[in-house]
Amino acid sequence: MGCLYKIGATKRPVSIEMNYLYLYLVVIGLIMVFYVKRKKRLASEFKAVLHESLESGLVEPPSLHPIVDMARCMGSGACVKACPERALGVVNGKMMLINPAHCIGHGACLAACPVEAIKLVFGTEKRGIEIPNISREFETNVQGIYIAGELGGMGLIRKAAEQGRQAMEAIRKKAGPGADFDVLIVGCGPAGISAGLSAIENKLRYKIVEQEDSLGGAVYHYPRQKIAMTAPVDLAIIGKVKFAEVEKEKLLEFWLDVVQKTGLAVSFRERMEAIEKKGNHFVVTTSKGSYTSKTVLLSMGRRGTPRKLEVPGEEQAKVVYRLTEPAQYAGQSVLVVGGGDSALEAAITLSEQAGTQVILSYRSAAFSRVKQKNRQRLEEQQRGGQLKVMLNSSVKCILADEVEIECDGQIDRHPNDAVIVCAGGLLPTPLLQKIGIQFDTKFGSA
């Protein structure tokens, strides 16, 4: 009788409603405290990564990369979550490239941005990147040579695959007798696979050459279990593939399944070495032979052909140009060659395998452009005895079970089961310019 009631049908005590209100406010308050603390922690981590990149001098993205419209950016972090390489971070409420050297330009951040604040560009104000001139049909200024995908400036998987399919629409109009093939496709990433499927659908005589031993192009080099595709894609024969988000491994499995089901023929470990125009067709020379084709579609990426040591014995099967499965080198003597982060990371990872002895050979006197974290881990593994660093050194010869290394003017032999060369890549730009393809130099433009 002494309680106060609200006017209305429910007649709940005011004190009970106040208790609910206090409870709601406490819950909201806890959520806000957690959110603010997490945001501060992430901001601190992003700033630390950015500082490390600046200290190491690793501030130039190697290829296609995002820039942000600061007026549009709301700092949601959606792009950060979508980036497989963790190259992005939110600093002072805005997106930034905090780890530029690790950005490989696949463009997942562009698709993830909720306010369209991101644009993908090539080059920076300090370092220009050459991009070939292509028409709306993806034909270069050299009639009969087409470019699709990353080499032409499109790192997005969906767009690269779409370009491969669209380029084939123009190529099929030029098909006819007078050459071994209607089209020779160089590269087997998303653009090359899509183009090959279109060639089958249009009953064209085609050949695909791929310098590596795997499908997927740049996708193959993504970090493990990272998101590689965030949008549907249309493929000839297959139809629309409705991938919302898919990890690298599942996407590579999908490409392999497509190849097996459609009978798409790919010649692996075959590198294009020259293209020459002869009459109404092209002569394409590769590491395995020479072919004539009415047209050529260049769908390789911008990673380039691996830079070689050019020493005797390098042709052996034990010499590779990337580290894929560290466990396979357990218990072996391995030589890693190179002075960048990829070389240091490969050497460190290998030295952590049971019984593996690793030599890291680098031609200079110091590792000048590597992350401090990698320097520290390298020193730790050196102290552990599994890793030996040889600066001012160069490989002279690779034998069946040894390597000859010159260090400070002295040549010695070392036991060896495998050699991993991490010396970067050679872009095909000079080769393409030699046959007359024109390029524009981009300084931070699309």
How many angstroms separate the CA atoms of 94 and 291, rounded?
A: 52
- Structure tokens given for 376: 């520290």
48 phi and psi angles, rounded to 5 deg: -65, -40
Query: Which CATH superfamily includes the segment(s) 319-424?
Result: FAD/NAD(P)-binding domain (3.50.50.60)
Q: Is the pLDDT of residue 223 over 80?
A: no
Query: Number of C-alpha atoms within 13 angstroms, CB side, residue 146?
Result: 32
pLDDT band at 296 (very low <50, low <70, confident <90, very high): very high
Q: What is 14-121's CATH number?
A: 3.30.70.20
Please give the pLDDT value at position 216.
58
Do 129-304+428-442 and 319-424 fold alike per CATH?
Answer: yes
Q: What angle do CA 336, 339, 345 make, to 5 degrees?
A: 60
- Residue 208 confidence class, pLDDT cut points 50, 70, 90: very high
What SS3 state is found at 310? coil
Confidence of residue 304 (pLDDT cuts 50, 70, 90): low
Would you say residue 119 has pLDDT above 70?
Answer: yes
Contact yes or no for 355/330 (Cβ under 8 A): yes
- The CATH class of 129-304+428-442 is alpha beta
Using one digit for the tens of pLDDT, what is the confidence trace for 230-274? Answer: 567 788 898 887 765 556 677 778 888 888 899 999 998 898 989
CB 292 within 8 A of CB 281: yes
pLDDT recorded at residue 195: 95
22's enclosing H/E stretch is helix 14-56
CA-CA distance, 195 to 214, in Å (whole number)?
A: 17
Examine the pLDDT at 375 and tell me if it is beyond 50: yes
User: Does residue 198 have a pLDDT over 90?
Assistant: yes
What percent of the chain has a predicted confidence (pLDDT) above 90? 36
pLDDT in tens, 46-66: 888 887 777 767 777 877 788
User: Measured at the alpha carbon of residue 221, what is the angle toward residues 269 and 192, in degrees to the nearest 5?
Assistant: 55
pLDDT band at 218, cuts 50/70/90?
low
pLDDT tier, 302 (very low <50, low <70, confident <90, very high otherwise):
low
What secondary structure letter does DSSP report for 283? E
Task: Tell me the whole-structure pTM to 2 decimals.
Answer: 0.67
Structural domain spans, the chain: 14-121, 129-304+428-442, 319-424
pLDDT at 361 over 90: yes
The predicted structure's pLDDT at residue 225: 45
In this predicted model, which residue has the larger pLDDT, 108 or 422?
Answer: 422
Per-residue pLDDT tens over the stretch 133-184: 889 999 999 999 999 987 776 656 778 888 999 999 999 999 888 899 999 9
Residue 185 corresponds to which tokens in the numbers above?
């496709």
Cβ-contact 416, 404 below 8 angstroms: no
Nearest Cα neighbor of 132 from 104, 151, 150, 119 is 151
Q: Over range 339-345, report the average pLDDT.
A: 88
Question: Residues 393-434: pLDDT tens digits?
Answer: 999 999 999 999 999 889 999 999 999 999 877 777 888 888
Q: Which residues contact 370 (CB under 8 A, 6 or more apart)?
A: 56, 58, 339, 340, 341, 344
The two tokens of residue 367 are: 């590792």
